[in-house]
Amino acid sequence: MKKLFAIIFIAFFCLPVYGAKKNPAFDGMGYVGTLPDLTRQYQPTEPKSTKPVIEQVENFHSSDQVKPIPRDNPAFVNIILKQDKTTRYVNDINEFIPMLEKIYDSIEDGENVQLFNAKVYFFNKNADYLRDKYVEKPEGEYISFKKLMELSTHAKSIALLRSEAQKYNPYLAYSGAGYIYDPDNINQQLEYLKKEVEQAILLLRDAN
**pLDDT tens digit sequence for 81-137:** 444 446 899 999 999 999 999 999 999 999 999 999 999 999 999 999 999 999 999
Asked if pLDDT for residue 11 goes beyond 60, the answer is: no
Q: Yes or no: say if 127 and 149 are a contact pair by the CB < 8 Å rule.
A: yes
Burial category of 197 from C-beta neighbours within 10 Å (exposed 0-12, middle 13-18, buried 19 and up): buried
What percentage of the chain exceeds 70 in pLDDT? 54
| Number of other residues whose CB lies within 10 A of the CB of residue 104 | 19
Read off the pLDDT of residues 34-80 as tens digits, 9 standing for 90 and up: 555 555 555 555 555 555 444 454 443 444 554 555 545 655 445 55
**Sequence letter at residue 73:** N
State the Cα–Cα distance between residues 180 and 182, nearest whole angstrom. 6
pLDDT at site 200: 97
Read off the pLDDT of residues 140-153 as tens digits, 9 standing for 90 and up: 999 999 999 999 99
Q: Yes or no: say if 187 and 166 are a contact pair by the CB < 8 Å rule.
A: no
What is the DSSP secondary structure assignment for residue 79, as one 8-state letter? Answer: I
